Amino acid sequence: MSNMYGRHFRYLTFGESHGKAVGCVIDGIRPGIDIDEASIQKLLDKRRPGQSKFTTQRAESDTLDILSGVFNGKTTGHPICIVIWNKDAQSKHYENIKNLFRPGHADYTFFKKYGIRDYRGGGRQSARVLAANVAAGAIAKKQLEKLGVSIVAYVKQIGAVKAKKIDLKQIGKNPFYCPDKEAAKKMERLISRIRAGGDSAGCLIEAIVTGVPVGLGSPQANKLNAEIAKALMSINAAKAVEIGAGFDVMGMVGSKNNDIFIRKGEKIVTRTNNSGGILGGISNGMPIVARVAIKPASSIHREQKTVDIKGKAVSFRVMGRHDPVPGIRGVPIVEAMLASVIYDAYLEYKAEK
């Protein structure tokens, strides 16, 4: 099983949803870099469960614990091990499904591939383990900020409710990280109705990365857009990724899709940004715009039909605490994954100079 991310900024994640902890080991960080634990914790807090009635009520503080690689607030050049201890796992809720294949989950594929699976909360396949990716990505995000690179993600759509306005100041003012105040109100009503019916909803997360220098990425195997797509598709429940105009290019003609180059001050920029900041796999200096579609939560409180490990048809209900819209807490995960990829590409770019 592969658990390693990146080539230059590289990290390995470990842990299970109901194990003792989740965490990461980051390698390849040069010595002497300031590590701001508060900034890491801030991004972890954004992903933390139990923050509102619209997310899972699992009560975890998600407090990071740095075990190695940092001394007096600076990196030593050795592997950085970060642990996030699990404090509120309630494994008893999963006893009734330990021999069943939950619809929409990876139970079946895990069992067939490895011959064993941790059914407690989903084990390694749980979105809980992505707290480790957030911790690693927070370090990359901080380093990018020093370079003038900013990453912001938000929920653009839940179900059929879409944000029509993009006001970044609104993101922190509602529990959905939505940039549209009116859309957020509609999202609240939608989620309340769906949750009352024991169901779940999907959503669309959009991210904008500004300040990216020209030249990150490669024209073939390590295209920046390909690495971004891979990272975002590595997020649990991600089903589709768009960059720039995305799927809308199918309805465009070339003259409308092409981004015309113009001069702005001392810089060459494009009048439009259908490319989403990437041309030929290489960043062009324009904002990188990426979107990821997150499917509805598979764990719903409705009776469902499935089969057990012997193929016998059964009916069951999922117990426990689950997000009605997994994508809400996916916002900091998207920011972290993008940060890791872009910082990795930056380190490669510097090494080539």
What's the confidence (pLDDT) of residue 55? 63
Can you tell me the distance from the alpha carbon of 332 to that of 342, in angstroms, rounded to the nearest whole number? 15
pLDDT tens, 269-313? 999 999 999 999 999 999 999 999 999 988 888 888 999 999 999
pLDDT tens, 122-155? 778 888 899 999 999 999 999 999 999 999 999 9
pTM: 0.92
pLDDT tens, 1-33? 789 999 999 999 999 888 889 999 999 889 999
- When pLDDT is averaged across residues 338-351 and rounded to a whole number, the result is 96
Please answer whether residues 200 and 297 qualify as being in contact, where contact means their C-beta atoms are separated by less than 8 angstroms: yes
What's the confidence (pLDDT) of residue 181? 96
What's the confidence (pLDDT) of residue 316? 87
pLDDT tens, 182-241? 999 999 999 999 988 889 999 999 999 999 999 999 998 899 999 999 999 999 899 999
Instruction: State the CATH number of the domain containing residue 335.
Output: 3.60.150.10
What's the confidence (pLDDT) of residue 50? 64
* Torsion from C-alpha of 205, 345, 236, 209, nearest 10 degrees: -10
What's the confidence (pLDDT) of residue 321? 63
- Exposed / middle / buried, residue 178 (Cβ in 10 Å: 0-12, 13-18, 19+): buried
pLDDT higher than threshold 60 for residue 81: yes
What's the confidence (pLDDT) of residue 124? 81
pLDDT higher than threshold 70 for residue 51: no
- When pLDDT is averaged across residues 231-254 and rounded to a whole number, the result is 96
Specify the range with the lowest mean pLDDT, choosing from 110-119, 169-178, 238-247, 273-282: 110-119
When divided into structural domains, the chain yields a total of 1
DSSP state of 284: -
What's the confidence (pLDDT) of residue 352? 78
What's the confidence (pLDDT) of residue 28? 83
What's the confidence (pLDDT) of residue 208? 98
pLDDT higher than threshold 60 for residue 59: no
Range of the domain at 112: 4-352
Token code pair at residue 331: 């916002």
pLDDT higher than threshold 90 for residue 174: yes
What's the confidence (pLDDT) of residue 238? 96
What's the confidence (pLDDT) of residue 2? 85
353 or 143: whose pLDDT is higher? 143
Nearest to 340, CA basis, from 43, 73, 31: 43
Mean pLDDT computed over every residue of the chain: 91
Can you tell me the distance from the alpha carbon of 301 to that of 343, in angstroms, rounded to the nearest whole number? 40
321 or 9: whose pLDDT is higher? 9
Assign 300 to helix, strand or coil.
Answer: coil
- When pLDDT is averaged across residues 86-100 and rounded to a whole number, the result is 78
Can you tell me the distance from the alpha carbon of 244 to that of 293, in angstroms, rounded to the nearest whole number? 14
